[in-house]
């Protein structure tokens, strides 16, 4: 796959690099790494991000390559610029969010570089996917490994390492393969800094967020013989802490630290008054089945849905559905 990808890159000149909406460390890391590779091969490269590069990833982009998407401003004619429009770390065009329309209209070759396990990608002229890779950054690493003399540019080294850290939870998840560790070791030899990367990616919370998590955990409820954890956050909780909805990211994972908890549920009030439900399962309970009952979905172990308010009513509904699913899956 990578030989085919390298030949494809060689054959074109102007590359627009984008990743999924609300990008993560891997999408940004893979894009910045690939941009450095393309530039070293004399290519023109732009990188456009929706809505903008997240605060905790800005240090990866010292050159200021990432342009925040401005559909009414400087990116009005974005679709006309590239020879190749490449999406990294996603293989479904709609994951571009607001950029999707422009992607559909472009005359450029539409391509993706991705490692997600999905059905065959649709909506691309060229697809480069490998579901055995732990991260898109690993794919870029493997591309560069046989095609660029070492040492590689510092920005590339930092970005690829950060992408690997981001997608393996700092080498904690089951996708942290021996091969990935070897690649990461090479990057460290070229200057990647594990401590700085971890601090940069993860230790960036605000006091407002930490207070909100404390408040949410204060209200933690354990039901079904302590196998189900329930956490709720209302708009007034957010207000009381000076926090916002972004601060809820990953909160649903928190109760999974508890021994014996099989399912964690987070319910929070959205601005429109509806209730967003987020579910995580350790391994045995099918939370996708629960979310499907409410018109939502996702994966067996991570899923979401939207319910009508108020929060207390939604909580009771969800609790009932979880009790039934737990009885079914755990007996």
H or E element that contains 184: helix 178-189
Closer residue to Mn ion in complex, CB, 33/255: 33
Q: Which residues of the chain form contacts with Mn ion (CB under 5 A)? A: 26, 89, 135-136, 167
User: SS3 of 109, please?
Assistant: strand
- CB of 208: closest distance to Mn ion in angstroms? 28
CA distances from 4 to 126, 129, 153, 285 (A): 10, 11, 24, 41
User: Helix, strand or coil for residue 293?
Assistant: helix
The residue written with tokens 């732990």 in the block is 134
Write down the least CB distance from residue 180 to Mn ion, Å: 12
Considering the complex, what minimum distance in angstroms separates the CB of residue 260 from Mn ion? 31
- Structure tokens given for 203: 């230790």
Nearer to Mn ion, 2 or 235 (CB): 2
Shortest Cβ 309–Mn ion spacing (Å): 34
* 50/136 with CB nearer Mn ion: 136
* Residue number, 136 or 325, with CB nearest to Mn ion: 136
* Minimum CB distance to Mn ion smaller for 24 or for 262: 24
Angle at 54 between CA 163 and CA 140, to 5 degrees: 25
Smaller CB distance to Mn ion: residue 47 or 216?
Answer: 47
Tell me the three state secondary structure of residue 303.
strand
Q: How far is the CB of 299 from Mn ion (least distance, A)?
A: 15
Q: In terms of DSSP bridges, do strands 302-307 and 84-88 run parallel, antiparallel, or are they unpaired? A: unpaired
Q: Cβ of residue 16: shortest distance to Mn ion, in angstroms?
A: 19
Gap between the Cα atoms of 120 and 114, Å rounded: 11
> Taking Cα atoms as reference points, which of 228, 234, 155 lies closest to residue 187?
155
SS3 at position 37: helix
CB-nearest residue to Mn ion = 26
- Which runs of E-coded beta strand occur in 126-168? 126-129
Q: Is the peptide bond before 63 cis (omega within 30 degrees of 0)?
A: no
Q: Which is nearer to Mn ion, 135 or 251 (CB)?
A: 135
CB of 162 or CB of 285, closer to Mn ion:
162
Structural contact between residues 20 and 95, judged by C-beta atoms closer than 8 angstroms: yes
Distance separating alpha carbons of residues 285 and 274, to the nearest angstrom: 25
User: Minimum CB separation from Mn ion for residue 62, in Å?
Assistant: 22
Q: How far is the CB of 182 from Mn ion (least distance, A)?
A: 19
């Amino acid at each position: 796959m990578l030989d085919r990808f390298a030949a494809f890159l060689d054959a074109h000149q102007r590359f627009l690099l984008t990743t999924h909406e609300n990008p993560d460390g891997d999408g940004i890391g893979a894009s910045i790494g690939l941009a450095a590779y393309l530039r070293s091969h004399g290519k023109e490269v732009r990188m456009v991000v929706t809505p903008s590069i997240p605060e905790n990833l800005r240090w990866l982009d010292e050159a200021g390559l990432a342009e925040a998407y401005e559909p009414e401003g400087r990116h009005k004619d974005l679709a006309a610029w590239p020879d190749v429009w490449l999406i990294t770390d996603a293989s479904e065009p709609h994951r571009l969010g607001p950029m999707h329309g422009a992607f559909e209209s472009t005359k450029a070759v539409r391509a993706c570089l991705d490692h997600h396990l999905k059905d065959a990608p649709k909506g691309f002229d060229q697809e480069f996917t490998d579901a055995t890779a732990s991260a898109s950054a690993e794919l870029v690493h493997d591309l560069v490994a046989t095609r660029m003399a070492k040492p590689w540019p510092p920005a590339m080294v930092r970005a690829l390492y950060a992408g690997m850290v981001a997608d393996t939870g700092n080498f904690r998840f089951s996708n942290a393969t021996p091969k990935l560790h070897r690649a990461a070791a090479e990057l460290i030899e070229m200057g990647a800094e594990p401590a700085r990367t971890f601090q940069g990616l993860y230790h960036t919370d605000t006091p407002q967020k930490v207070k909100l998590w404390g408040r949410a955990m204060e209200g933690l409820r354990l039901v079904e013989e302590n196998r189900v954890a329930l956490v709720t956050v209302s708009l007034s909780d957010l207000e009381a802490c000076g926090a916002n909805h972004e601060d809820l990211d990953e909160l649903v994972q928190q109760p999974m630290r508890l021994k014996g908890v099989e399912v964690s549920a987070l319910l929070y009030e959205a601005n429109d008054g509806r209730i967003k439900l987020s579910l995580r399962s350790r391994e045995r309970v099918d939370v996708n089945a629960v979310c499907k009952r409410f018109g939502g979905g996702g994966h067996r172990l991570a899923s979401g849905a939207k319910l009508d308010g108020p929060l207390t009513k939604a909580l009771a509904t969800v609790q009932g559905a979880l009790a039934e699913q737990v009885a079914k899956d755990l007996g």
